[in-house]
Structure 1
Amino acid sequence: MIIDSHQHFWKYEPLKHVWIDDEMANIRRDFMPEDLKPIYKEDNVLGCVAVQADQSLQENDFLLGLSKKHEFIKGVVGWVDFRSKEVEKYLEAYCEEQKMKGFRHVVQGEADHNFLLRPDFLNGIDHLKKFGYTYDILIFPHQLGATLEFVKNFPDQKFVIDHLAKPYIKDGFFEGWAAMMKEIAKQENVYCKISGMITEANYSTWTPEQLKPYMELVLETFGPNRLMYGSDWPVCLVAGKYSKVKEVVTDFIAELSSNEQDAIMGKNAMFFYNL
């Protein structure tokens, strides 16, 4: 039973999706459930968690609306402004939405390296546990130091690091990223998504062997019970087909026990997001 813990839908708008640069021109179009469903059927994927790609309340409504029409969308990770004094009101408004599972902020896009540690942001995150929501941490490696302090502030909050914190695979940088990930993994409430790797490598020349050290590090430190498979579809399409993304992970974990493989490929996501 495979659950894709990380993918996106959007109706492409150049201003809204400005992060899709010229190198990613082939995903400058709409990507909707009708596009993903046949891919899941072909790759034996039962369902997914749809993650926000735009920081707006309208994005939440868009994803929740899709989840009501398509049963395979098992959960939604949305967005609210955690810096707002009304953050609790916003979070409470989604309590009746069974498929709203958690939230994230595009911290990787913030110029302030210590954005996660701003008092107003910390105050907003403090409200998540009350409602049982999760939080996805989207960062670059240079933000890992702040992330370590951030997660230590909330030992009872469920966190997951998206895309292995986007290590600089293309440049071959490893040691600094690895040292910080080892420290963060000591926090037992923090999970990690094995996702988004091929787009951190060279789009056209990446190999599974280049990705292996990064996967080995998170498997060793987080363990098989705190890792989740994610495709990052359709972003992954700039560097490879869905089946290839899935194959990288399934080949890597092939020597683990069947229970451990099942955990990484679906059961951990079901537990973390309460699907």
Structure 2
Amino acid sequence: MIDTHVHFWNFDPVRDSWINEDMKVIRQDFHPKDLLEPYHSLHITGCIAVQASQSEEENHFLLSLAEQNEVIKGIVGWVDLLDPNLGDRLNYWSNFKTIKGWRHILQAENSAFILNPKFIEGIKLLKEYSYTYDLLCYHNQLPDIIKMVDQLPDQPFVLDHCGKPDVKNQDLKTWAENIKVLASNPNVSCKVSGLLAEADWKNWTEKELFNCFEVVFEHFGAKRMMYGSDWPVMLISRPYEDWFNLVHQYTAQFSPEERQLIFSDNAKAFYGV
């Protein structure tokens, strides 16, 4: 099994200022060795390490971890897609085969950034290098994400954290409508990950999460869904095993072949691992 969404960092209170006092449990360093125990008990054999900092230095940090830890099967890094010399940067990074794709923290950007023609041209260039692109956004940004994706029908995308629906308040109607539209693009997949951070961290219910699962599994289907944990961010709510068991429980309704796709084969095909 492959966990398609984990982060590693040496905690820096300035750089990682998004990790506030309410998130004390993750205001510390997290390295691959910290995942080995839950992975072993759950028979998870590999992960995709996703950027948490927007710098090329982050790519080298993740690459150094991957060299020392075979559990890291691929990396989603960061590169400045607005860089006039983007082609040169992609040529450079193409020497590092562990880097499978890229991500920008679009949840922190506005509509003008997401729909900037130069940004979209930057994403268009990724296809030449067989790179994937992870979409990180809030539910209210999905209309802009749809407009962007519509211009890039040949680029493999994956939506992180189901597009961050409002799990806590269960205001899911507009989100669900946008998920349906986004999923109509066959080049877009979805990670079932990250929802604990959007819920009431300590008081969520299984039904609240399953309401979200139902929407993404209905529209993306087993062939375009991937398991991810969003570790260690998810630790603000529950231990790793709790999230895994929740997804495992929900997907019990699917055939063994479909579960194999969700927990392994889709990730291997998408990221080329």
Shift of 1:115: 2.1
- TM-score with structure 2 length normalisation? 0.98
Unaligned runs of 5+ in 1: none
Aligned equivalents of 1:171, 1:85: Cα separation in 2: 42
Q: 2:225 is matched by which residue type in structure 1? A: L
Report the counterpart of residue 227 of structure 2 in structure 1.
229
Alpha-carbon deviations, 1:25-62, whole Å to 9, x = none?
A: 11000000111122211221010000000000000000
Report the counterpart of residue 203 of structure 2 in structure 1.
205
Report the counterpart of residue 107 of structure 2 in structure 1.
108
Report the counterpart of residue 265 of structure 1 in structure 2.
263
1:45 aligns with 2:44: yes
1:274 aligns with 2:269: no
Report the counterpart of residue 29 of structure 1 in structure 2.
28
Aligned 8 A contact 1:231 1:245 in 2: yes
Give 3-state SS (helix, strand or coil) of 1:127's partner: helix
Report the counterpart of residue 5 of structure 1 in structure 2.
4
Give 3-state SS (helix, strand or coil) of 2:17's partner: coil
Give 3-state SS (helix, strand or coil) of 1:253's partner: helix
Report the counterpart of residue 251 of structure 2 in structure 1.
253
1:90 aligns with 2:94: no
Aligned 8 A contact 1:161 1:193 in 2: yes
- TM-score with structure 1 length normalisation? 0.98
The percentage of aligned residue pairs carrying the same residue is: 42
Shift of 1:90: 1.1
Give 3-state SS (helix, strand or coil) of 2:54's partner: coil
1:168 aligns with 2:171: no
Shift of 1:119: 1.4
Aligned 8 A contact 1:163 1:194 in 2: yes
Which of residues 176, 184, 202 in structure 2 aligns to 1:186? Answer: 184
Aligned 8 A contact 1:114 1:146 in 2: no
Report the counterpart of residue 142 of structure 1 in structure 2.
140
Which of residues 133, 148, 157 in structure 1 aligns to 2:131? Answer: 133
Aligned 8 A contact 1:84 1:120 in 2: no
Aligned equivalents of 1:236, 1:131: Cα separation in 2: 32
Give 3-state SS (helix, strand or coil) of 1:45's partner: coil
Aligned equivalents of 1:206, 1:88: Cα separation in 2: 45
Report the counterpart of residue 77 of structure 2 in structure 1.
78
Give 3-state SS (helix, strand or coil) of 1:168's partner: coil
Deviates more, 1:15-24 or 1:229-238: 15-24
Shift of 1:113: 2.6
Aligned 8 A contact 1:107 1:139 in 2: yes
Aligned residues: 273
Shift of 1:114: 3.9
Aligned equivalents of 1:105, 1:127: Cα separation in 2: 15
Give 3-state SS (helix, strand or coil) of 2:28's partner: coil
Q: 2:158 is matched by which residue type in structure 1? A: V
Unaligned runs of 5+ in 2: none
Aligned equivalents of 1:24, 1:88: Cα separation in 2: 38
Alpha-carbon deviations, 1:213-254, whole Å to 9, x = none?
A: 110111110000000000000000000010001011110010
Report the counterpart of residue 68 of structure 2 in structure 1.
69
Q: 1:142 is matched by which residue type in structure 2? A: N
Q: 1:154 to 1:63 in 2, by over 3 A?
A: same
1:54 aligns with 2:48: no
Give 3-state SS (helix, strand or coil) of 1:261's partner: helix
Aligned equivalents of 1:243, 1:126: Cα separation in 2: 38
Aligned equivalents of 1:35, 1:196: Cα separation in 2: 19
Aligned equivalents of 1:21, 1:192: Cα separation in 2: 27
